[in-house]
Structure 1
Amino acid sequence: MLDLSCRDWVERQRAGLSLVPDLVLPNSVEGDRAVGIFNKLRLFDVPGTPTMAEAAGDWFRRIVWALFASLDPVTKARLIRELFLLVPKKNNKTTGGALLMLTALLMNERPRAPFLLTGPVHKTADDAFAAAEGAITLDNVLHKKLHVRDHLKTIIHRETGAKLEIMTFDPDIVTGKKVVGALIDEEHILGKMPRAKKAMVQLRGGMMPFPEAFLAIITTQSDEAPAGVFKEDLTKAREIRDGKRSGQMLPVLYEFPGDMQRSEEKLWRDPANWPMVTPNLGRSIALDTLVQAFNDEEANGEAALRTWASQHLNVEIGLALMTDRWAGADFWEAAGEPGLTLEALLERSEVCVVGIDGGGLDDLLGLCVMGRERGTRRWLTWHHAWAHKIVLERRKEIAPRLLDFEAAGELSLVEKPGMDVKEVADVVCQVRDAGLLPEKHGIGVDGAGIGDIVDELTAPERGFAVGADGQIVAISQGWRLNGAIKTTERKLAGGDMVHGSLLLMNFCVGNAKIEDKGNAVSITKQVSGKAKIDPLMATFDAAYLMALNPAAMVIGEDYELTTT
């Protein structure tokens, strides 16, 4: 299989070089021919209607060349079956994609071959069609060779009968389609659609009968944490680029290295670094325009700036920040310790408490195990959540994210009510059996809707007790949780609280909205709306108990903590 990795991508970006690796492909003649056609196409909405030879950068021409040069002249099989191009807005993304598909239509030799270009919203599809139609109108040869059906947004090759359909993405239409070539614009939006993954699987399957078929994905970064099919394709592209896996996808990702995005200096904010991720700079976009837009959004606050940066600099958003966000959200990401497992937490802790928060069938059941680290006395936290599968239907807008959390092992989907409660109780027993749970007030639960949890924990085989002398205590919510909320904020800001950098918790923390209650603040599910915050509320329940400075159960006069 062709090696499509580009391990030196950072050095290439800094030097302004193509991110298409140096490939030996079987059909350079076909690649040159494709570039020749692409170069002659004109931009209808730019003064002087320049050709792509004048308006496009070599970075995009190299992509065109590689895609078509990979077509084996003997077997007629394309060695590069997919393209994943991650590039910020205003870098000739939609126009370049439309003219790439027009080039494919002109290069095609298969009679009546179907091609598809789809965008997530009407405007994207309209812009793509306008770019293709405009290029045809400005070229007398193309005007005679291609028949444009405006009302259907379809372009038909008069000689081969091949057609290019341009439409808004619809899972019902895309599912079952058989195409020789397809382009998906702005896939990051599809990642939020619950049925998009299935539609993409079907689309890829529909290409299998055609050895020359290709799928091009051209997208910006998501304005929220990547999710669904977009997250899957983005991960695949990164792994192929970095040489961690093989595949027939050509990865071209204009993004900052992880250390530049996560550094305390926030190096991505420096305009001197922006040419790394804006390959069409000086053509379709100017640096001073970007700087002005950056300054405008920075004045609107961190949330607005992050959203702008995701679209114009491909900065990946890990945690959404709203104007009415919880103050601890600003420090959450920096407090992460990736890979912090429950077993590691138990090993490092001198005492642990547990917070539990749950609701109805369309809510999450959130669990937080919080340990006080030996020596440092930092608070270590481990989280998990459970959900009934019915939530995927009742909360379709977040279903792709929940499935991502399940795939990451951070959330468990259960078939029947009660399965989740038993698994929560199993974890609580694991903490107790490690000798780390306080004799009293070690399990904090939401005071409402806790009947099933209490019933399971107080069952004879579990052996926990409720009440003043018991280990299970109801934690009052609303403004009464103000102390725990403020304490958690201070611990995070001071570096005295650590978590496992879960995508689940980034989601929950980003969803939390505050409501002022006199001198107190309140975070409730009602204020946060349909978005889920249950595991975060479980964290506050645990913080309430940990703030009481508990001690682990004493086994004899001198006891030793052990873990299972």
Structure 2
Amino acid sequence: MAWDLSCRDWWSRLQAGRSLVPGLPLWTAEAERAVRVFNKLRLADVPGTPTMEEAGGEWFRDIVRAMFGSVDPATRERMIRELFALVPKKNSKTTDGALLMVTALLLNQRPRAGYVMTAPVQDVAQLAFDAAAGAIELDPVLDKKLHVRHHLKTIIHRETKAELEIMTFDPSVLTGQKISGGALIDELHVCAKMAKAPKALRQIRGGMLPFPEAFLAFITTQSDEAPVGIFADELQKARDIRDGKREGAMLPVLFEFPKELQESKDRKWESPALWPLVTPNLGKSITIQRLQSDYQEAKDTSEVELRIWASQHLNLQIGVALHAAAWAGAEYWEAQSELGITLEELLERCEVVDVGIDGGGLDDLLGLAVVGRDKETRDWLVWSRAWAHPSVMERRKAEAERFNDFASDGDLVLVQQIGEDVEQVADIVAQIEESGLLDKVGVDPAGLGAILDALEEAGVPKDKVVGVSQGWKLTGAIKTAERKLAEGTLWHAGQPLMAWCAGNAKVEPRGNAIVITKQAAGTAKIDPLMAMFNAVTLMSLNPAAAPSIDDFLRSPVIA
């Protein structure tokens, strides 16, 4: 029978300083044997080279107990086949992970078993290897039992011939790797951005299936931008298992604040009193004083640096990834989300609507933004969608997983032929026209031709389609949008696609004006955001509301 690995009271456990590993029917002898082996390993880069028993955190010993105490000693069947540990930086996760893999190598009973530990960059892989090799070389018994091959970053058990290889994350190499013992992936959020990372992960999992004792472990910090690809998928799986929303053989150990605290408008997470709750190695590899100093430096630098600091040291999840020269409106984007606004709801609530369109080349997204004025509050509501040709996925392989996520959300449509995108845009605009709410459609004059033809064919009056000047002439729309976001009078549908675009936007001064251009954004896409600015330009002209049925009934009768 599968074990229940949920930990529904995780927040109260964090507040009470209790373990995030729930009570499990572990094989106690196996669990404690693993802890004894782990505790004897030494830290080679710490003065005095203390043992893990002296310097290690109890939080990680709980993980060791669970991972090795979940293997049936009679059948070798593993009840916990995976681990997802979300741990902030400076909590010894790379070192602990490396020593976990050394423990696995020492306890392994399968001849010539294969173990792999990967990290996204060479420096981190070297750190992991140095921790493992250093612990072995400091122990005369281990030094005789294990053969360290420094030039290959490989450790071989002399008796079982089992092998632990520590390497940088390379999907092409991992795809063909024999992993019969276990694998550990460090910093999954970085690995997830690599092309073919999903394929490599599928191969690792598939290769482990014949081996009942094999395990897969992820030990990672939060991403410094919105989670994407396999990182977003595995993190959500871990949260769902933790919260009892799904079953699985993954042990979730997530040091993070509840969603409402992370998104609190008064930013409660900035209080140092809360930081110990998500800092499991506090007092060992990190102190609150060092965190406070780092925090203050980041806060004094910029909002960008503060958010990055919070993502890495508090595991705060970022929805909008800010950067140097970021658009000011991006800072308020998350706070102005009204999740679930659909096009139909927007049309129901608004008295007049403007549409913006931008992009559409082979190397671009085609962006559509609908901006409506609420008939009750007069706040502005925004809904967006984008279209992409498969060639964009090929030309922007680094963003392919992100685009697939947006497509799954329904915010990005992947078309097979150029032309389908324009037709679908025209159909949506025609729907708005039929509602009687459409004021104007604003388009970049450089791309007016094909769009104008499609709109006319769909029944949108030609005089409602206008060119919106780009470059510095969009300054007014850019400033209007950021001001209304800051005032709390512009609300959007909380679409991850638009959060990404808002975070990608870079501002450049041009005389007394500012510009946001695709060139400044580089490979990151902003087409739907530019479409929004086109629509904002039109809505800023304060178009008259469409006549209502009440207006019609009040109008004088003409004989």
TM-score of the superposition, structure 2-length normalised?
A: 0.96
Secondary structure of the 2:99 match is: helix
What are the within-5 Å matches in structure 2 for residues 23-422 of structure 1? 23-25=24-26, 27-179=27-179, 180-422=181-423
For residue 554 of structure 1, report the CA deviation from its aligned partner.
Answer: 4.7
Instruction: Quote the residue 2:531 is aligned against.
Output: 538
Checking the alignment, whether the CA contact within 8 Å between 1:435 and 1:552 is kept in structure 2 is no
* Mapped partners of 2:399, 2:55: distance in 1: 40
For residue 163 of structure 1, report the CA deviation from its aligned partner.
Answer: 0.6
Checking the alignment, whether the CA contact within 8 Å between 1:437 and 1:552 is kept in structure 2 is no
One of 437, 447, 471 as aligned partner of 1:449: 447
Secondary structure of the 1:314 match is: coil
Secondary structure of the 1:390 match is: helix
Q: Tell me the amino acid that sits aligned with residue 413 of structure 2.
A: S
Q: Tell me the amino acid that sits aligned with residue 362 of structure 2.
A: L
Instruction: Quote the residue 2:556 is aligned against.
Output: none
Rate the CA distance shift 1:214–1:557 in 2: closer, same or farther, 3 A.
closer
Q: Tell me the amino acid that sits aligned with residue 131 of structure 2.
A: A
* Mapped partners of 1:268, 1:396: distance in 2: 35
What are the within-5 Å matches in structure 2 for residues 405-554 of structure 1? 405-438=406-439, 442-459=440-457, 462-466=458-462, 470-554=463-547
Checking the alignment, whether the CA contact within 8 Å between 1:19 and 1:252 is kept in structure 2 is yes
* Mapped partners of 1:455, 1:202: distance in 2: 47
Q: Tell me the amino acid that sits aligned with residue 341 of structure 1.
A: T
Secondary structure of the 2:438 match is: coil
* Mapped partners of 2:550, 2:286: distance in 1: 73
For residue 553 of structure 1, report the CA deviation from its aligned partner.
Answer: 4.9
For residue 556 of structure 1, report the CA deviation from its aligned partner.
Answer: 8.3
Q: Tell me the amino acid that sits aligned with residue 386 of structure 1.
A: W
For residue 452 of structure 1, report the CA deviation from its aligned partner.
Answer: 1.6
Q: Deviations over 1:453-480 (max 9, x none)?
A: 1111112xx22233xxx11111111111
Checking the alignment, whether the CA contact within 8 Å between 2:433 and 2:460 is kept in structure 1 is no
* Mapped partners of 2:320, 2:135: distance in 1: 41
Q: Tell me the amino acid that sits aligned with residue 487 of structure 1.
A: T
Q: Deviations over 1:494-513 (max 9, x none)?
A: 11111011111111011111
Unaligned runs of 5+ in 2: 554-559
Q: Tell me the amino acid that sits aligned with residue 373 of structure 1.
A: D
* Mapped partners of 2:360, 2:509: distance in 1: 23
Secondary structure of the 2:167 match is: strand
TM-score of the superposition, structure 1-length normalised?
A: 0.95
Secondary structure of the 2:447 match is: coil
* Mapped partners of 1:207, 1:176: distance in 2: 12
- Over the aligned positions, Cα root-mean-square deviation in angstroms equals 1.4
* Mapped partners of 1:15, 1:244: distance in 2: 24
For residue 13 of structure 1, report the CA deviation from its aligned partner.
Answer: 0.7
* Mapped partners of 1:240, 1:543: distance in 2: 42
For residue 323 of structure 1, report the CA deviation from its aligned partner.
Answer: 2.9
* Mapped partners of 2:74, 2:479: distance in 1: 69
Q: Deviations over 1:362-385 (max 9, x none)?
A: 101001111111111111110111
For residue 423 of structure 1, report the CA deviation from its aligned partner.
Answer: 1.0
* Mapped partners of 1:205, 1:436: distance in 2: 53
* Mapped partners of 1:149, 1:91: distance in 2: 28
Instruction: Give the length in aligned residue pairs.
Output: 551
Overall identity of the aligned pairs, in %? 61
Q: Tell me the amino acid that sits aligned with residue 118 of structure 1.
A: T
